[in-house]
Amino acid sequence: MNETIVTVGSVAGGLGLFLLAITLITDGLKFAAGDALSDMLGRWTKTPERGIASGIIITGLVQSSSAVTVATIGFVNAGILSMSQALGVVFGANVGTTMTGWLVAAVGFEFKIEALALPLIGLGMLLRLADAKKRYGAIGLALTGFGLFFIGIDVLKGAFQGIAAFAQVDQLNSDGLSGLLLFIGMGFVITLLTQSSSAAIAIVLTAATGGVISLSAAAAMVIGANVGTTSTAIFAVIGATPNAKRVASAHIIFNLATGAVALVLLPVMLWLVGIGGKAFGLDDNPAVSLALFHTVFNLLGVLLMWPMTAKLAQFLTRRFRSAEEIEGRPRYLDKTVLASPTLDMNAVCLELGHIAQIVRGMAKGAISSEFAPGEKLESNQLAVQQLVQEVDSFVSQLGGASLPAYIAEELPKILRCDQYLSTAAELSRVLATYQSRIHTLGDTELMAALAQIRLALATLIDATDVQHATFLVADCDRQLISFESAYQSLKEKLLVAGAHQRIQIRDMTLTTEQLTRMYQLAEQMVKSARVMAHLFNASNLEYNQK
């Protein structure tokens, strides 16, 4: 009984040391590298092939595929990496994680662990104490992690050698599909519980070295651990961005496909690994054989998935669309309307109407907001940006075709209207920021005037709806003139109030800037309405032309 408690404690302690070591290595190297890892990803991933290579190298260095995946998601979100390039990094990161197995296998060679591990810990902590908050301190943290890594593996190895004396695991049959699935399940569960494929691989390799399980059973557990890493990806992307879900899905697809291939080819792969081990005189070391097996089947997975990178990227791009991406999809523009010039103009005008509708909602929301720009305002601005790009691209395609003169003349006006609406969307976001910074001026008359001018702007924004039955260009112009007069009057009153210290200078400045943005917004909305009315008229679409 006492031996069992000691053995279980040794396994728990060894695993704890291992997980602590991986954390120290990852954090230390990430901090020591600073922005270098991000720079490397940005420079080295111009093609899927280079993405695979960078994924292997960087993951091998920092010992964390999660850190590399998070950086990759950030680059995809920023538009620096395409989905195809990101997939290359994900595939490479899976191969890079096999470095852990080789480190574990290295401990399997006969040498005194303390001779390497303890000096690493001593040197690492010396650097950490000497330069705690700078690069050398981070390198010291990583060196300490490597020392603890070797000690943790040695503790696990000793514990499993003790387990081999009384455990019945080796009596489980790993032959046949049911036996293999049992051990795959065990590998999956270990990874699920530890949330670390590196920890699961360490346990499997040390168990095989200690004689607790056979080589074929350990290989099946390695497959299970590899598939088990998908649980981390699943948990990590709950409520995450669409790009995060796409990259995580690629990780899951790769691991499931690779695991299935490894299971089907398991006897052949073990035979090939055995031949390779004998060629290098390593056939008597199960840890080396398993590390080689782990690397080989991940490389095989890369070779299988690589030709499908483009199609997989297209498939994932169509999935997990966010609200702004859905809103940002054109409603009226597609390739089918390019065949007819009349349909072209109609589609573009209707799409401009769609963009204007979103911008009007943003503008009115910004005027009434008392808080910083919220999620809805931010997502609407992204949608407007995407739609404007789509319209610009569509107009570019039209410009390269043979068009009637009367339609060709309208193309610059479409782009001008695009710019008006895009600017209005940005002004709405800025205006919401000003709104959140101004709560009260401490002057009842000025606050009433400010509320009145907001109401006037909201009314003007409603009046710019070209597709509304009561729309009149003249009405928009009249309201803009009236609004400018009210704006100039209130601006003068604010300056007088500030000069006579009735309100604080800071509040005067912020409110004046806010008024300027309001007038600029009104101006952009009216300009867009004028151009859109002309375009609707040229396209013979219905709107009030009085």
Q: Which of the two residues, 486 and 398, has the higher pLDDT score? A: 486
**Mean pLDDT over the full length of the chain:** 77
The CA distances from residue 349 to 165, 259, 327, 352, 410, in Å, are 80, 51, 17, 5, 11
Q: What pLDDT score was predicted for residue 546?
A: 38
- Residue 476 contacts residue 526 (beta carbons within 8 Å): yes
**In which band, very low, low, confident or very high, does the pLDDT at 240 lie, cut at 50, 70 and 90?**
low
List domains and CATH numbers for the chain: 2-320 (no CATH), 325-538 (1.20.58.220)
- Angle at Cα 537 formed by Cα 534 and Cα 540, nearest 5°? 155
The mean pLDDT value for 462-479 works out to 93
**In which band, very low, low, confident or very high, does the pLDDT at 399 lie, cut at 50, 70 and 90?**
low
Express each pLDDT in 131-177 by its tens digit.
766 777 777 877 787 777 677 766 766 665 555 444 455 555 556 67
The residue type at 227? V
The Cα–Cα gap between 345 and 348 comes to 5
The mean pLDDT value for 99-122 works out to 67
Task: Spell out the long-range contacts of 433-439 with Cβ–Cβ below 8 A and sequence spacing 24 or more.
Answer: 433/372, 433/373, 434/510, 434/513, 434/514, 434/517, 435/366, 435/367, 435/369, 435/370, 435/371, 435/514, 436/369, 436/370, 436/371, 436/372, 437/510, 438/507, 438/510, 438/511, 438/514, 439/370
What is the pTM assigned to this prediction? 0.55
**Highest mean pLDDT range out of 119-123, 197-201, 356-360?**
356-360
**In which band, very low, low, confident or very high, does the pLDDT at 120 lie, cut at 50, 70 and 90?**
confident
- Is residue 533's pLDDT more than 60? yes
- Is residue 205's pLDDT more than 90? no
Task: Report DSSP state, residue 328.
Answer: T
